Amino acid sequence: MNPFPEDIFTEPSDVDPDTLANLGPLTRLAGRWEGHKGIDINPKADAPERREFIEQISFDPIDPQANGPQLFYGLRYHIHITTEEEDITFHDQVGYWLWEPATGLILQTLAIPRGQTALASGQAKPGDDRLTLTATRGQTEYGICSTAFLEYAFRTDSYTIDLTFEGDDAWSYDIRTMLAVRGRPELFEHRDRNRLTRVAPGKPNPLQQILTRRAKA
């Protein structure tokens, strides 16, 4: 059954401009975060490698976004990861977390500078303490896209993130990425996990900042 309306062009007319007030289950992510005990388990030629890492994440509210009648509130994010042993960036990632209030759909878009993108989806409601999102290679809706080399050598078949809130000022994640490593008979479970604590609160989205300044003028 088609869940979408026949009118695919008309946008909502009663959109609240305040993103922070409409993020639903993503509300607690807004702001700046740090984690110093991250664990990464990745495939190497001889045996899996375990690395500890330091992580900084920013989540900045964006203005409401409409696809015709579909309305999203969301956060633009940037992840920067380093290690104690090296000065060079260990991992860098950008994207958006989005929530559709009308359906409870949550999305995470991600892009990394090694030629890979993904769109993961899940369902949640305001106040949920745990979020689970998945993406699967080959899907045209919530899928994974990689370079020709990554498809050849380290094919990503699936991505799952479990995110757990601990009150308002801490949260943790566990990411499981299933890789088909060339020459290996079995899939490799690439794991990343960390616990982050708040270092700064979220700021209003650009439109809300403009409206607030205008109201005070």
Q: pLDDT digits over 127-176, tens only? A: 999 999 999 999 999 999 999 999 999 999 999 999 999 999 999 999 99
152 CB contacts (<8 Å, ≥6 apart)? 182
Average of per-residue pLDDT across 90-113:
98
**Percent of the chain clearing pLDDT 70 (strictly above):** 100
pLDDT at 114 (0 to 100):
96
3-state secondary structure of 6: coil
pLDDT band, very low/low/confident/very high, at 84 (cuts 50, 70, 90): very high
150 CB contacts (<8 Å, ≥6 apart)? 114, 115, 116, 156
Tell me, yes or no, whether 13 lies in a domain. no
Q: Number of folded domains in the chain?
A: 1
Average of per-residue pLDDT across 42-67:
97
Does residue 1 carry a pLDDT above 80? no
Tell me, yes or no, whether 7 lies in a domain. no
Tell me, yes or no, whether 130 lies in a domain. yes
pLDDT tens digit sequence for 164-187? 999 999 999 999 999 999 999 999
pLDDT at 144 (0 to 100):
98
Does residue 201 carry a pLDDT above 80? yes
Q: 99 forms bridges with which residues in the sheet?
A: 73, 106
The residue among 176, 180, 170 whose CA lies nearest residue 192 is 176
Average of per-residue pLDDT across 44-48:
95
Average of per-residue pLDDT across 188-214:
98
Cα separation, 106 vs 161, in Å, equals 12
- Mean pLDDT (the chain) is 97
pLDDT at 34 (0 to 100):
98
**What's the CA dihedral at 143, 147, 149, 150 to 10 degrees?**
-30
Tell me, yes or no, whether 12 lies in a domain. no
Q: Is the dihedral of CA 173, 78, 21, 34 positive or negative?
A: positive
Tell me, yes or no, whether 97 lies in a domain. yes
The residue among 74, 163, 153, 60 whose CA lies nearest residue 114 is 153
pLDDT band, very low/low/confident/very high, at 41 (cuts 50, 70, 90): very high
Residue 121: give the domain boundaries. Answer: 19-216
- Contact assessment for residue 187 and residue 157, using Cβ atoms and an 8 Å cutoff: yes
Tell me, yes or no, whether 57 lies in a domain. yes
For the chain, counts of helices (H) and of strands (E): 2, 12
Where do runs of H (alpha helix) occur along the chain? Answer: 148-153, 206-216
Tell me, yes or no, whether 2 lies in a domain. no
Tell me, yes or no, whether 178 lies in a domain. yes
pLDDT at 217 (0 to 100):
86
pLDDT at 2 (0 to 100):
84
Does residue 14 carry a pLDDT above 80? yes
User: Residue for token digits 């950008």?
Assistant: 94
CATH (domain of 167)? 2.40.128.20
Cα separation, 165 vs 154, in Å, equals 31
